[in-house]
Each structure stands twice: as structure tokens, then as C-alpha cells.
Copies of this chain bind each other. A is one copy, B any other.
Amino acid sequence: MKRVTIKDVAAHAGVSYQTVSRVINNQPGVVESTRQRIEQAIVELNYRPNLAARSLPRHRSNIIGLIVPYDAVYLFRDPNLLAQISSIDAEANACGYNLLLSTAAGSDNGLDAYKRFVRNRVADGALVVETAAGAAGNQLLSQNNYFYVSLGYDLSHTRKYFVHADDRRGANEATRHLLHKGHRRIGIINGPLIGAVGATQERLTGHLEALAEANIVFDPCLMVYGDYTRPSGQKATEKLLALPDPPTAIFAFNDRMAMGAVWMLKSAGLRVPEDIAVVGFDDIPTAADFSPPLTTVRHSGVRVGQVAAQMLFKLIDGAPVESPEVVLPAELIVRQSS
């Protein structure tokens, strides 16, 4: 299994290997006929550049890390995160980067994803999914002189680079919409209490601000917790319905829990939105086709991934980054569930 190198290509094309290097790197100053001969030799020999060999003199591997500080089995809980990962992968490919996946698989400690990443010097930088493990993790990245951009909020107050949707504003608008419809008791289905992330904190803040603006005192009994899954939304709704003074509207902090809420309400014989309104968050693809079509807050995980990746590539290139924190729009989409 012989390796074909730049020198084999050069010999085959009858040029020096430096000229081959120029062609591979699309550098000017190679006469067209020579370039074509070399390109043909590359195809004929099925030559593929050795990334390690390129990395060494370049001080650049064109590999970026994707740090997910939890076990991969939990990825499916969050379609929005999957959208981010997908767009990161697409963006990386379009810009000539490879993606190194670093999760905390097999460990219950999110910090392990970071430790594994820094163990070897291999990537030019990292995109990190912001979690509670982020504080220590980001410190590790900084100590090892990595560029990194977080998908999420500045939970660890490192004042580095962050990209996220405007969760606060989105939740604020959703709540104002419900208030406008006359609702005064709004049940909240929050994300998990443990391992709370910036997004849900901000959504709650946006909700509370809207209540305060309307001079409504927040009733803590109206807030229950799910784990982003549909069944958890059902259970949470069960709790809200069991309240002495149940809410007339439910605002779930993601769409899947909102869908679970609708199912539970239906099976309790309640009509949505006539008897009780439901609003979700995320605008996942199935939200519009749901019965009833779900009122929700649209924001783009795809865009977050793109912007974060572009930011990281700029940092690696030493190009200027306008703002260290990018807040992407979130927009209320009113449908029939409210």
C-alpha cells in the first residue's frame, strides 16, 4: 500500500515537486500547460494531500473541534442543536475545514470533552456548545491558546466569543402576545432545573419582564419543569392542570414540550386554544403542521452555527471580528394554538 506523494506527482508530470505544491494551493505563477499536466498527474495517480504534512510548515491544520460537553446520546433531545451542528459541518466543509468531534461520551463529566480536545495539539480552534461545564472548560481552552466560539451564552463570564438567538426578546413577545389575548395566569414549562442553560434562563427573564410590564405578579406555582421531550411536556401539563387555580395559557420553552402539552390537554377534554392557549419555542419543522398549528418563536439554529463558524474562521485567520457577541433575531409566529 504505497503512499503517493507530491514527489510522485512531480515525477509523473516531469516538474519539480515545488511546482506541484503551487498547483495544489492554487497559487499563481504556474504556466497553464504545466498546471494542466500536473492536474492530470494528480488525477491519474489519485493523489491526496497529506494533511499532517501540510499542517507542519503551515502551523495550521484546517481542523476545528466541535466540543459537546455531554454524552452523544443526549444530542437527540435538542433538534435545534442538531441544526447548529449540521450547519457548522456544512460551513466547515465549504471553507476547507474538517470537524473533530469531542464529546464527554462514557463520562458523566462534561469537562472531559474539553480535556480530550486539548490533550493533543491538533485543531486550529473550537466551537463549543455552552453548558454548565463551560467555565472550567473555557479556561482550559484559553490556557492552551485556542481560539473558540461558544454556541450559547456567556455563562462563565469569560467575555470571549458568543453566538445565540435573542431568547429574551422572543419570550417577551410570546408572553405579551398571551397577555394581549387576555391571559393573566400563564403556565411555564421550563427546561430542566439541573444543567439549566443560558437560553432557558433568558427565556424566563423575557417572560418575567413582560409580566412585570403588565404589573402581574409572577406565581411560582405556575412554573414546572420538563426535559425538552414531548412526554415531559405532557407530565408537566398534568401538574399545571392539577393546580387549584390552573393557568388559562401555557408557554413551553420548546416546541416538543408544547406539543406534549397539547396532547395532554386534548386527552383531558380541553380545547386548544378555546379553553387553554399553548405557545412553544423554536418553530421546529413539525410545528406548522401540528394540530392545531403551533404558535411559537422562530429562531435559526442553522444561522447560529453559520455565524459561529464564520467567526471562528476569522479568529483563526487573524481577521477582525466586529463584535464578540452576536445576537440573532427571534420572531413570534402566531398560529392557531393561541
Contacts and interface: CB of A to CB of B under 8 A. Distances in A.
Nearest to A145: B1
A72 B85 contact: yes
Contacts of A77: 76
Interface string A72-102: 1101111100110111111001100011111
Given A48-B120, A53-B56, A98-B122, A83 B73 contact: yes
Contacts of A87: 105-106
Contacts of A231: 286
Contact of A72 (B71, B86, B98): B86
A75 B75 contact: yes
A116 interface: yes
A118 interface: yes
Interface string A114-126: 0010111110000
Contacts of A169: none
Given A120-B48, A122-B98, A286-B231, A105 B82 contact: no
A93 B75 CA distance: 19
A14 interface: no
User: Which of A56, A83, A122, A230 has the largest count of B CB atoms less than 10 A from its CB?
Assistant: A122
A315 B322 CA distance: 48
A139 interface: no
Contacts of A86: 71-73, 103, 105-106
Nearest to A66: B101
23 contacts: A3-B59, A46-B143, A48-B144, A50-B121, A50-B122, A52-B52, A52-B53, A52-B56, A52-B122, A53-B56, A62-B120, A72-B89, A75-B75, A75-B76, A76-B77, A87-B105, A89-B101, A89-B105, A90-B106, A93-B105, A98-B120, A100-B100, A231-B286
> 3 tightest A-B contacts by CB?
A90-B106, A76-B76, A52-B55
